[in-house]
Amino acid sequence: MKRVVLVGDPQQLGEIEAGGLFGALADRSEPIYLDQVIRHRHETDREGAKRIREGEGREALSLYRSEERVIVAPNAEARREAMVRDWQEAFAGGEDALMVAKRNADVEKLNELARATMQEQGRVGSEQIEVGGNAFAAGDQVITRVNDRALDVYNRERWTVAEVNPADRTVVLSGIDSPRQVEVGADYLSRTNPYGDAPAMEHAYAVTTYCAQGTTVDRAYVMADPSMDKQEFYVAASRSREETYLYATPEIQAQRDEYAPRSPYLREGLEHIAEATQRDGSQTAAHDEAQRFELSELSTPALVERRADLVRCGQEEGGRVARLREAGERVEQSRQNVAQAEARIAAAESGGRAAQKELPDLRRSYEWVSEGLANREREMAELPRPQADQAAMRSELDAVEQVLADRRAPQIAAARIEPPAYIVRELALLC
């Protein structure tokens, strides 16, 4: 008999192209969950990452803020400077520190600032080699972007540059994620990643969220961007052994300032980040997408009615499952009682005269627990069995909820931009 075991986390970043199958399989089966976090050494980081994963991003953000782990800068430039300053302090102290951002453009700017700091402090060598338009020297922290089995070098691995030879165009790399040393030459350095045209080697003081997935560091400095989703925040917030820090800016409309006053609908605080931490960006399997398409043909009242039917059916099926489970537990307890009674009889039969005197009582006890077992087995056999596929019902309910949420989103956005008269009137009465 052959068995396929799938291991993964559907709440992390999904596939680059079509995906969603792993999550769909997990929803339709009874997976085994590993729920003990061993990477983080601090409860704040364990609880924060867990809450983001479970869709409680607002609570996670409040937790980070209560521990002074959220830095709010007035603008994007100040945010980058704060990230590099804090990263440099940890990095100079010998810690494995990493900055994480969603966009390549932000990663490039962070790497430029970080490397300039490294040069000012004399932490990189004078001999340099150019790859993909960037200079690299001994002491630089880099990430490889091209797989090469012969060299034992793979995409998204982090390294420290040990030596550079500009004449031969060779670089000696010492592994950060795994303790080994390799030498790459001109052939490797001239290649690009086939899926995104990234050069074979890039600076890795800062990396994208995708590149950070699978990496473990001492401290992580995360650029909290409102364009991120729950999965991206979860990956970024779960990289550190020690502490994770989030860097944000207030909600802004930079383009609007050029032609109009500040919008009255901009929110104070970090509500725009809180919304992002709870935005589900997971991919949908083709089967589920087809199901959503079919449901999208229904009217909103019909969808609401279907949701109520699914919830009611789910509660009924859940009740049947719970009653069967409880009955099964009672049957199992009765079987243990019977086994114990049989063991006591066997011990008395092989014992002395005094023990054998107890046999009549032991046999009566055995008959009593055996009758109890028969009654409980009969009760369990008479219970109604689940009639519907609960996994399929959950899948359809999720699809209905998503279609309804997609229909609500434009209405909510419109109400925020131009509140209906009745909302304005009610708010006026409260003031």
pLDDT tens track for 240-278: 999 999 999 988 654 444 444 555 444 556 888 988 888
235 vs 17: CA distance, rounded Å: 18
Q: Is the pLDDT of residue 173 over 80?
A: yes
Which is it for the CA torsion 413, 418, 422, 427, positive or negative?
Answer: positive
- Tokens in use for 429? 């009465």
Q: What integer pLDDT is reported at residue 259 of this predicted model? A: 47
**Which of 188 and 290 is assigned the larger pLDDT?**
188
280 vs 277: CA distance, rounded Å: 8
Phi-psi region of 277 (alpha: psi -120 to 50; beta: other; left: phi over 0): alpha
386 vs 390: CA distance, rounded Å: 9
Beta-sheet strands, E only, within 230-370: 240-248
Q: What is the pLDDT of residues 277-292, one digit of tens each?
A: 888 766 555 555 556 6
**Which of 162 and 421 is assigned the larger pLDDT?**
162
**Which of 4 and 112 is assigned the larger pLDDT?**
112
Q: What average pLDDT does the chain have?
A: 84
Q: What is the pLDDT of residues 13-45, one digit of tens each?
A: 655 555 555 565 666 667 777 677 778 888 999
Q: What integer pLDDT is reported at residue 232 of this predicted model? A: 92
Q: What integer pLDDT is reported at residue 429 of this predicted model? A: 60
**Which of 402 and 41 is assigned the larger pLDDT?**
41
pTM exceeds 0.85, yes or no: no
Strands 206-208 and 201-203, how do they pair? Answer: unpaired
Residue (of 188, 132, 129, 190) closest to 161 by Cα position: 129
Domain-wise residue ranges, the chain:
21-277, 286-431
175 vs 157: CA distance, rounded Å: 8
Q: What is the pLDDT of residues 54-86, one digit of tens each?
A: 888 899 999 999 999 999 999 999 999 999 999
Q: Is the pLDDT of residue 359 over 80?
A: yes
